[in-house]
Amino acid sequence: MVKLTTCLHHRLLAALLACLPLLALAQDNEARQAFIELSASEDELYVQQQMHLRVKLYYTNNVIQGQLSDPEHPDVMIEQIGEQKQYRELLDGERYRVVERNFVLFPQKPGQLQLPPINFQGTARHARGHQYRITDSATLFPLEVRDIPDSFSGRTWLPATSVEISERGLDQGGPVQPGENLTRTLTLTTEGLPATTLPDVTPQYPDALRAYPEPAQRQSSATDEGVMGQLQQTVALVPVPGHNGEATLPEIRIPWWDVEEDREKIAVLPARTLRLASPAATADLTPATPGSGETEDLASSPDNSVESAGTHWTWPLLAATFALGWLTTGAAWWLQTRRSDRSQPDTGSPADAGGESERGRFALVCDQARALDPAFFDQLPAWVRQLTGQPCHTVGAALECLDEEALRQAVSQWQRHLFGKDGTPAPDGPALEKSLKRSRGSWQQDRRLRGNRPGLPDFYPEGIRP
């Protein structure tokens, strides 16, 4: 029995040892279900120089889902260029699906740079149907970031593959007149730098020209080769009166560092000269002053005599026309006022405030206020017109004429209660009536203090209000 057990143990151990190569092969196949490949355009670069990083994820058809991380570093400005690409590729006899992402990196500090690993986590399905997790990571080699060279002469560090400056505008063929508005647009274009890093182009203009620059316009674009930046600076130039001859726009020089040739270069916009109109040429365009010989000759000519005679009658005719217009306007106002008085008998004057009609309408308004009758809003302006003699045709205008704050608040609360949606409660009717009586008493007392003299009429009489 003991010999049989020992024999079984030896057979099981031999079977396990025989399966180990197959398990290792299966694990190796699973490890190759997905893997990452990194490639960089530079292994040594300057600070703020562009570096192109390509991230490629290879995976087989067994991979059903996964997540690929992006590069990141606190001291590096990283931007993805273009959209993610997906295609198939044959590698070592195996057909893979490929996900490709492209990035541009701009290191901001000199020294050795080590990017964190790029990681992938996914799920694969075995041929028998069960699922298992797969992972992979790849780390880019260390990068050597060099500092700005001491020999660089510019104020703004521009490491790029190309920098150009151009201009447009100022295409006037003849001399420039004083006060003429000229437009000049300077364009700075770079390859390998974003527009945010480009300096403003603000040359020093001569005293004969006043410069009014506009805010710079910046735009960045991405291509397969990297980033391109463009800056446009537009300035309005106005010649100053009193200057003649020529005005020279100075040469513009922008130093930059060619990263391909590893040396400084300078983008140059040559100087150009504008011709300014001379005072004599400007004087030829102005009319002759009175008292000169030319003026006397023109005045003595027959044509000028006819023109002077015509001018002599122009002003009296214009004055008569304006006078006739004023008289017509006054007559229309008077007729309209009389018609309004006849058509609106309830619009009384302050002298009629004590009449029976005003008292009766006031009693009606008080009854409506006490009962919170909505007809109050129609009768209030009519009563105020009788009381004050003012052309009050709306509730707001009537409240302005009475100038009683308690009454204004009560009427406003009533309107919110009727037309609002915030659930404002209705005002107290008797309190509203008291406010009306107090307002009427205050207005009558003020009128007695003024000596019962009506105030100035409204600027626009009633009936012809615009």
User: What are the pLDDT digits (tens) for 216-242?
Assistant: 999 999 887 789 999 999 999 888 887
- Residue 114 is predicted with a pLDDT of 95
- Residue 355 is predicted with a pLDDT of 45
The strand pairing partners of 90, in sequence order, are: 95
The Cα 52–Cα 18 span in angstroms is: 48
- CB of 361 within 8 A of CB of 345? no
- CB of 119 within 8 A of CB of 142? no
Amino acid identity of residue 254, one-letter, is I
Is pLDDT at 51 greater than 80 in this prediction? yes
Amino acid identity of residue 408, one-letter, is R
With a pLDDT cut of 70, the percent of the chain lying above it is: 72
Is pLDDT at 88 greater than 80 in this prediction? yes
- Residue 315 is predicted with a pLDDT of 62
- Residue 224 is predicted with a pLDDT of 78
Is pLDDT at 40 greater than 60 in this prediction? yes
Residues 6+ apart with CB under 8 A from 145: 45, 46, 47, 107, 109, 110, 111, 112, 113
Of 107-116, 259-268, 394-403, the least confident:
394-403
158-to-76, 112, 149, 153, 188 alpha-carbon distances in Å: 16, 21, 12, 11, 12
The strand pairing partners of 189, in sequence order, are: 164, 230
The Cα 36–Cα 59 span in angstroms is: 9
- Residue 450 is predicted with a pLDDT of 62
60-to-35, 85, 124 alpha-carbon distances in Å: 10, 16, 9
- The predicted model gives 98-103 an average pLDDT of 96
Smallest CA-to-CA distance from 190 within 223, 215, 213 is with 223
Residue 93 is encoded by which pair of tokens? 């006899």
Confidence at 335, pLDDT banded by 50, 70, 90: low
Smallest CA-to-CA distance from 232 within 199, 196, 187, 184 is with 187
HSE, side-chain direction, 13 A CA sphere, residue 108:
7
Is pLDDT at 70 greater than 90 in this prediction? yes
Confidence at 30, pLDDT banded by 50, 70, 90: very low
Is pLDDT at 353 greater than 60 in this prediction? no
Amino acid identity of residue 161, one-letter, is T
Confidence at 358, pLDDT banded by 50, 70, 90: confident
- The predicted model gives 203-213 an average pLDDT of 89
Is pLDDT at 345 greater than 90 in this prediction? no
- Residue 108 is predicted with a pLDDT of 94
345-to-233, 339, 340, 342, 355 alpha-carbon distances in Å: 71, 11, 8, 6, 13
pTM above 0.95, yes or no: no
The Cα 386–Cα 343 span in angstroms is: 14
Mean pLDDT score of the chain: 79
CB-based burial label for 441 (10 Å; 0-12, 13-18, 19+): exposed
- Residue 22 is predicted with a pLDDT of 37
| Widest CA span in the chain | 154
393 versus 115: which is more confidently predicted?
115
- Residue 324 is predicted with a pLDDT of 75
Residue 309 is encoded by which pair of tokens? 């005679």
- The predicted model gives 401-429 an average pLDDT of 83
Confidence at 45, pLDDT banded by 50, 70, 90: very high
- Residue 331 is predicted with a pLDDT of 67
Which residue reads 């006031």 in tokens?
362
Mean pLDDT comparison of 1-10, 201-210, 324-333, highest-scoring range: 201-210
CA 47 distance to own-chain centroid: 33
- Residue 263 is predicted with a pLDDT of 96
- CB of 459 within 8 A of CB of 391? no
